[in-house]
Structure 1
Amino acid sequence: MRAPDFWTGDGGGLAPILLSPIAALYASATARRVARPGWHAPVPVICCGNATAGGAGKTSLALDLGQRLANRGVAAHFLTRGYGGTERGPIRVEPGKHDSRAVGDEALLLAAEQPTWVAADRAAGARAAVEAGAQVIVMDDGLQNPTLEKDLSFLTIDGSYGFGNGRVIPAGPLREPVANAAGRARAAVLIGDDETGALAHLPPGMPVLRARTVPGPEAAQLSGQPVFAFCGIGNPRKFFATLAGAGASIAGRASFADHYPYDAGDMRDLMAEADRLRAIPVTTRKDFVRIPPAFRSRVTVVTVTLAWDEAAQLEAMLDPLAGRVPVPA
């Protein structure tokens, strides 16, 4: 689904006001749910969560943390719900066997780097990961899921979107009030500039780690080239801005709902438009795994990684967890 327009702005207008009683019930139900005790895993659990519905950079953060743990010689396994997929798990993702319709697009991105588990029941997924040798579990999403206790949680914030209109679903994009989500996080991770003043809504003294997305080397090859950019992610304008910042000439663009499942008809239309514009079809890595295989050879993928302002502070937060990694028998 696409987020309604009234989810951005100052929270005024008729729709948010009319929906506020339902939002209050939603927030109350979430508060009761997250208060339940969860399973305490025998290995450290790190959660990359957010307060809003949709993307905020959680998967990019999870991938970054997984690499940092790997650099320490720690066997990190990723754990995700597998949004958009049909598998409920727990199941270990096999990129050559599973596709995005089975396990979701984010799980495939994670599994390309390190062992990844899809599980609607996060505790069951964590147990399976531990049995398979996980020394640390990195959760992509799950801040509002109480079934698994977390040792270190990050509140991820998309700097260009912030907390939307500041209201709870369905009156706004928040899964719960910001203060509630922040209260269960060790630090906030701001990705990009704080364009909406989101940091002002965090509790005083909450640590904030700042990062920005950096395009991969393939972006340099698009400098000065006409491109037709398309994506179905939480914040499409971030992708378009990344391409423009890399020097690509955006001849056309198309955006779809987050996790949009492209079919052959969609791709024929997109390729026809790229041909009409005499432009290179370009998309994100997350979108690429949702494209039917027959069309992938025609599409250029631009990847992104995170560059940190406070990398040393982030590493310091990982230090205590790395010290708790169980030694293999």
Structure 2
Amino acid sequence: MRVDQESGLRERVLVGWRHRGALRVLLAPAALLFGLAVRLRGAAYRFGLFRTHAVDVPIVSIGNLTVGGTGKTPFALWLAERLCARGYRPAIVTRGYGGVLKGRVVMVGNGSELSEDVSEVGDEAVLLAERAGVPVVCGADRVAAAQKAASTNEVDLIVLDDGFQHRRLGRSMDIVLVDGRAGFGNGGLLPAGPLREPLAALRRADAVVVTKTREPADVGARVSAAVPGVPVFTAGFAPSAVIHYEDGETMVRPLGTIVGRKIVTVSAIADPTSFYELLGDLEVQPIDVLEYPDHHDFDQADWQQISKVAHAADLIVCTEKDLVKLRRFPFARGRLVALRLELRMPADEEADLLSLLARRTA
């Protein structure tokens, strides 16, 4: 495994956050200060000292309580697809992590055509715009972005990506995702643990979805104990296809494309563990692994490193989020593919969640 220096530090922090060890004790004073700031901010919203802004259409927020990937992007894609199938005309609003928009708000795609580059808006925004088939608006100012989305022709509902802590923008429903493997780690607030807010903040949620695990009972039980009455759902991710980019078009191949091949994996996501697990389910074992920080902006030195490491490999396999950044490099031609994932939720739970959404947004 080859990991750059920043990714190595991230891995050590993630390990520390999983256990009630020295890291939590060492950083406890900083966590107390962070917790105080979070509680004061929450109180300011509850008592009206900070204003919450509304737009003309309902907003469904998808967020999490912890730092790190819980599957918000594939969940947003899944939800947009389900909403369209039920006659809604949704748009997605996202911040644009990894981009350089600064104060601008832009339409990344109108549902059929991409209008912004990944270097401007970041990997998640481009992936959403290419996959969702609905308008995607990007901007650090989520209120302005939501207003722009609401003014788009025929949009009648907004899916807000990573919005649980963004309380300045009002919403009709909060869906909080929890990583079923990592749970809430050591239970500490940042920087002593992975929590952005205390566990009690889940009282604001209208639904909790436990992701990335085949046995979510433990985490689900902990959520139910912490916030009785908040419905808990379960969802998993499964590989559905292998994709690659050719002449400006996304091409879809069967999963068997990577089975039995010599591969090198490249990832720049918060926690690549589930990526490796999904490859393992396909009985695919990489001959080498390259990890970079989440939302990493790949440059010429990176592609030269990747080319060197992968010289003996048949294929370079990455996540779909990383493909939108890597496909412009020379090594991508004929060798770079991505694992496409789909979210799967039990049919009865899906029906209950979408019924709850319909009531909250009516």
TM-score (norm. length: structure 2): 0.83
SS state at 1:107 partner: helix
Q: Which residue of 2 aligns with 1:92?
A: 107
Q: Which residue of 2 aligns with 1:9?
A: 18
Deviation at 1:29, TM superposition (A): 1.8
- Distance in 1 (alpha carbons) for counterparts of 2:340 and 2:283: 15
More moved, 3-12 vs 237-246: 3-12
Which residue of the other structure, out of 119, 123, 129, is the alignment partner of 1:105? Answer: 123
The yes-or-no answer on 1:318 pairing with 2:357 is yes
- Distance in 1 (alpha carbons) for counterparts of 2:81 and 2:318: 24
- Distance in 2 (alpha carbons) for counterparts of 1:102 and 1:12: 40
Structure 2 residue identity aligned to 1:24: L
Q: Which residue of 1 aligns with 2:302?
A: 266
- Distance in 1 (alpha carbons) for counterparts of 2:55 and 2:62: 17
The count of aligned residue pairs is 320
Deviation at 1:175, TM superposition (A): 0.7
Deviation at 1:176, TM superposition (A): 0.8
- Distance in 2 (alpha carbons) for counterparts of 1:40 and 1:157: 26
* 2:212–2:274 contact (8 Å) kept in structure 1: no
- Distance in 2 (alpha carbons) for counterparts of 1:290 and 1:10: 34
- Distance in 1 (alpha carbons) for counterparts of 2:117 and 2:24: 37
SS state at 1:250 partner: coil
Which residue of the other structure, out of 179, 191, 202, is the alignment partner of 2:211? Answer: 191
SS state at 2:93 partner: strand
Deviation at 1:120, TM superposition (A): 1.4
Q: Which residue of 1 aligns with 2:252?
A: none
Structure 1 residue identity aligned to 2:56: P
* 2:266–2:317 contact (8 Å) kept in structure 1: yes
Q: Which residue of 1 aligns with 2:245?
A: none
Percent of aligned pairs sharing the same letter: 32
SS state at 1:290 partner: helix
The yes-or-no answer on 1:142 pairing with 2:163 is yes
Q: Which residue of 2 aligns with 1:28?
A: 36
Unpaired segments ≥5 residues, structure 1? 325-329
* 1:176-215 paired onto structure 2 within 5 Å: 176-180=197-201, 182-193=202-213, 197-202=218-223, 203-215=227-239
Deviation at 1:197, TM superposition (A): 4.0
SS state at 1:153 partner: strand
- Distance in 1 (alpha carbons) for counterparts of 2:61 and 2:353: 14
Which residue of the other structure, out of 288, 291, 303, is the alignment partner of 2:326? Answer: 291
- Distance in 2 (alpha carbons) for counterparts of 1:190 and 1:54: 14
Residues 27 and 100 (structure 1), Cα distance of their counterparts in 2 relative to 1, 3 Å cut? farther
Two-structure CA RMSD over aligned residues (Å): 2.0
* 2:74–2:342 contact (8 Å) kept in structure 1: yes
Query: Per-residue CA shift, 1:263-313, capped at 9, x if unaligned?
Result: 12211221222223x331000110111226133333111110101022111
* 2:95–2:142 contact (8 Å) kept in structure 1: yes
